[in-house]
Amino acid sequence: MNKEDIPIFNLSKTELIPEDKEVVRAEANRAIENETEEMKRVLREISIPMNERVSMVADELHAFQTERCKSYGRNPPDKPEVFGVPIEYRARLSKSDSIGGFTNSIDNTVVVFTYPNELDMWIAKKIAHELEHAYAYHQNRADVNFEASEDDPQVIVGCYRRGGVTLSPKGEYGYFLEEGAAELGAIEYFTEHISKLFPDDYESYLKERSKFMEEQGLREATKDYLGPSYNRETQTVQMGATIYAYPVGVVKSLIDELPEGRELINQAHIRGNYVPLAREFEKLLGKGTFRVFMSLPIKEESIRGLGELFSAMNERERKTIMEKLLHSRPYDKETLRRRGVL
């Protein structure tokens, strides 16, 4: 990681002089090193060794993502260290009780949680998803606060931007975009590459999927969203759609509806430049709609609201839907009011 790259956000009223910046930057880098060391020590202790073919997929993905970064004019990150961690350790590493893995841009690690007897093919697909995040545009930041303590400023290092996601004190933005782009990338990589490395498992999956779709009366278009999900009650893995089906569906429709849609999504996800995407999005759906889209959490009610927004008949209707979707986002509502959108 380039040590000069960390931007400093001064959260105190005291102004930062150049010497302060040096101190903060050194402190931030030390915090990163400490966290990296501690985190890797824990991960080495609880992770399980990867199957050879899974490691091979991770290596191939590294080469693939590195090339893609370069083709979008970005310096690729160092190869992240990938850890498979048994599901029982999830609570120790994450506050969420539903995630399949995570990417940590501070220590450049990727963790995928594994279930007992989980097929290597599915572990490889989870790695593909997490590596989409790991190679997406990243920006860490150092928050400094002098008010916390007079002579020993408090420095907190965190992730600020990750692909389409921005984590700011005003709120978190871009989950639909980033998760949709990452999962769509993982599905495509899975279908084109991973499936060929595990032909027998892939074939049984296709059979199981067709049977499931027939039983449930599902449309052909839903097939890519189906994979094994873990049922916590029965502690078994079974066919189903995951929560990612929503963001993937939205990103897919943006790719179809917007001119050069895929390119716009890639620019936002890989380069962190979502201005061109915002422009086309608002041309299609109206002023202020991109901010609303970026503010939504990945939930069923968001997808329903987005559907309504996409099919709004007039300006008035659109405003009402936007107000409703921003009900728990006063800052964003206010911003749109100031701009005369709401």
Identify the burial level of 43 via C-beta atoms within 10 angstroms of its C-beta, where 0-12 means exposed, 13-18 middle and 19 or more buried: buried
Q: Report yes or no: 294 and 189 within 8 Å, Cβ to Cβ.
A: no
Tokens 């049984």 — which residue? 204
Residue 100 vs 286, nearer CB to Zn ion: 100
- Paired residues of 308 in beta bridges: none
For residues 105 and 140, the answer to whether their CB atoms sit within 8 Å is: yes
In angstroms, give the least distance from the CB of 175 to Zn ion.
9
- Which residue's CB is nearer to Zn ion, number 65 or number 289? 65
Binders in 162-181 for Zn ion, by CB under 5 A:
179
Nearer to Zn ion (CB atom), residue 71 or residue 98:
98
- Least distance from C-beta 294 to Zn ion, angstroms? 16
| Closer residue to Zn ion, CB minimum distance, 118 or 178 | 178
Q: In which residue are the tokens 């927004």 written?
A: 309
Please list the residues that pair with 48 across neighbouring strands: 84
By beta-carbon proximity to Zn ion, the closer residue of 96 and 328 is: 96
Nearer to Zn ion, 28 or 182 (CB): 182
Of 179 and 332, nearer to Zn ion (C-beta) is 179
Query: Tokens in use for 77?
Result: 């990150």
Separation between Cα atoms, residue 318 and residue 308, nearest integer Å:
8
Q: How far is the CB of 3 from Zn ion (least distance, A)?
A: 27
- Least distance from Zn ion to the Cβ atom of residue 266, Å: 16
Alpha carbon distances (Å) from 76 to 62, 73, 193: 10, 9, 21
Q: Which of residues 178-207 bind Zn ion (CB under 5 A)?
A: 179, 182
The residue count for the chain? 342
Q: Cα–Cα distance between 255 and 181 in angstroms, integer?
A: 10
- Minimum CB–partner distance for residue 182 and Zn ion (Å): 5
> Smallest gap, in angstroms, from Cβ of residue 93 to Zn ion?
15
- What's the Cα-to-Cα distance from 231 to each of 115, 208, 243, rounded to whole Å? 11, 17, 13
Q: What is the DSSP track for 226-255?
A: EEEEEETTTTEEEEEE-TTHHHHHHHHHHH
Which residue, 82 or 182, is less far from Zn ion as judged by CB?
182
**Long-range contacts (CB closer than 8 Å, 24 or more residues apart) made by 65-71:** 65/131, 65/132, 65/134, 65/135, 66/135, 68/135, 68/270, 69/135, 69/270
Number of residues that bind Zn ion (CB under 5 A): 2
Query: Which of 118, 179 has the CB closer to Zn ion?
Result: 179
DSSP 87: G
Separation CA 217–CA 78 (nearest Å): 45
Binding mask 129-168 for Zn ion (x = CB under 5 A): ----------------------------------------
Q: How do 226-231 and 236-241 pair as beta strands?
A: antiparallel
**Minimum distance from residue 61 beta carbon to Zn ion (Å):** 15
**Which tokens belong to 318?**
């659109």
CB of 102 to Zn ion, least distance (A): 8
Least separation in angstroms between residue 133's CB and Zn ion is: 5
Site of interaction with Zn ion (CB under 5 A): 179, 182
